């Protein structure tokens, strides 16, 4: 595969800020970083199988850790891990397309920061924010909230009763059919 070199400046490089003597150096830097981008794109295209294997490994580790962190119930945890294993081909396709589209530029930008040797910018100072103390609910709001809570509890009781009756009917029907 041949590499085509564009003669455009990297948008992160602003030659108007630097002195005229550094303009040639900045242009050469932008060209070389563009070459790095093209080489990374070429590497990803030629080593697609390796990228797929890396993404598979990351998915296996990440999905298990995420499910373990979010779902504490063992039966639900197992079901979600099974679903995660089944959805792996879909993830692989989507992740590979995202990787090809975004990662060469992200890696190039990161590498450029590594070879720039610029001091990291200081984080902005903390700004004090005045917080206004909220007044508690007024009496009419409290009454309407408590009435709404009572209504919701009543609806939950009805739904629970209907659910119990429906499950009982299903169990009786299933045992009658057997």
156's tokens: 């939950």
Out of 63-72, 129-138, 146-155, pick the least confident: 129-138
Between residues 151 and 112, the one the model is more confident about: 112
Predicted local distance difference test score (pLDDT) of residue 11: 47
Handedness of CA 58, 59, 64, 66 (dihedral sign): positive
Predicted local distance difference test score (pLDDT) of residue 167: 87
Q: Which residues contact 91 (CB under 8 A, 6 or more apart)?
A: 55, 59
Out of 95-99, 140-144, 156-160, pick the least confident: 140-144
Long-range (24+ apart) CB contacts under 8 A made by 10-14 are 10/34, 12/109, 12/112
């Amino acid at each position: 595969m041949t590499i085509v070199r564009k003669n455009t400046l990297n948008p992160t490089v602003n030659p108007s800020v630097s002195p005229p003597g550094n303009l040639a150096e900045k242009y050469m830097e932008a060209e070389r970083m563009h070459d790095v981008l093209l080489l990374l794109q070429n590497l990803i295209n030629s080593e697609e199988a390796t990228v797929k294997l890396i993404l598979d490994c990351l998915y296996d580790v990440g999905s298990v850790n995420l499910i373990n962190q979010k779902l504490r119930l063992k039966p639900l945890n197992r079901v979600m891990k099974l679903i995660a294993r089944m959805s792996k081909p879909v993830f692989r396709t989507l992740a590979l397309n995202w990787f090809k589209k975004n990662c060469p530029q992200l890696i190039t930008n990161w590498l450029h920061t590594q070879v720039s040797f610029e001091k990291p910018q200081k984080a902005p100072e903390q700004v004090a924010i005045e917080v206004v103390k909220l007044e508690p609910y007024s009496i009419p709001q409290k009454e309407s909230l408590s009435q709404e809570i009572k209504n919701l509890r009543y609806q939950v009781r009805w739904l629970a009763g209907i659910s119990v009756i429906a499950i009982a009917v299903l169990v009786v029907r299933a045992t009658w059919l057997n």
